[in-house]
Amino acid sequence: MPQTVIAGNWKMYKTQSEAKLFINQFLQTLGDQQLGDRQILLCVPYTDLAILQTFSHNSPVAIGAQNVHWAECGAYTGEISAPMLVELGIKYVIIGHSERRQFFGETDHTVNLRLRAAQKFGITPILCVGESKPQRDAGETEAFIFSQLEQGLRGVDQGNLIIAYEPIWAIGTGDTCPASEANRVIGLIRQQLDNPNITIQYGGSVKPDNIDEIMAQPAINGVLVGGASLDPHSFARIVAYS
Ligand code: PGA
């Protein structure tokens, strides 16, 4: 059975002091609820990693990064390497988010390099894939995602990987992909993989009022949550889905 992973993606939100306030309120709201084997994860800006590692210690929350460079070190101004994350105890990293692809020139090739670099240092990457609205309207959803998978996953260990299906048109728009459609696409993604037990998440306008329906879908093993992960009460409701 794939593990259930409920992850927040803070994007470029929250300073260290805001992050500290969040984690205290979030853990307080969670209290001692029994969440079974659900993994709770917060993928945050680099500057928040250390403080969140400290304040989430001995809690059910793991902390992840939002990107990683493929080199171990080098003349790459502005980049962060896997060994730098490992030293902070980071075990997860988002790779190939559509915002990285759209605004920062990320390609399937660089996504592939980053995936392999993360795995080499024992970090579990979350590979993001998903189609744009024009691609969906043109009936190219499946072909586009399969191509992202084929190129992105070359030489990648499918034993240490999470995939997030994030239709671009559903990200930050409030326009959630119908749960049954997300379930369908995720089922197709799974058929493309060598390892059928990979955790595959849905992402795109996940909120407290649609989480239960999304998590009721048989093919969906978790969610990647942007906006609704910024509020401790809303994220606590999401991780406690029924
Ligand atoms: P959203 O973002 O939940 O705000 O739509 C999801 C994401 O970009 O991972």
Q: Domain boundaries in the chain?
A: 5-239
User: Any idea which residues carry the catalytic annotation?
Assistant: 97, 166
Instruction: Give strand ranges (E) for 25-169.
Output: 39-43, 61-65, 92-95, 124-129, 162-165
CA of 226 to the centre of ligand 1 (A): 3
**Residues 6 or more apart from 95 whose CB is under 8 A from it?**
67, 68, 111, 114, 115, 118, 125, 126, 127, 128
Q: Among 60-69, 131-140, 171-180, 207-216, which is the least confidently predicted range?
A: 171-180
User: Per residue in 207-239, is it b (16+ CB within 10 Å) or e — as a string?
Assistant: ebebbeebbebebbbbbbbbbbbbebebbbbbb
CA of 160 to the centre of ligand 1 (A): 23
Give residue ranges with CB within 6 A of ligand 1. 9, 166, 171-172, 203-206, 224-228
Q: Please give the CATH topology (third level) of the domain spanning 5-239.
A: TIM Barrel (3.20.20)
List the residue whose alpha carbon is closest to atom 9 of ligand 1. Answer: 226
225, 231, 235: which to mutate for ligand 1, most atoms within 8 A of CB? 225
pLDDT tens digits, 219-235: 999 999 999 999 999 99
The two structure tokens encoding residue 42: 């917060």
Mean pLDDT on 16-24:
98
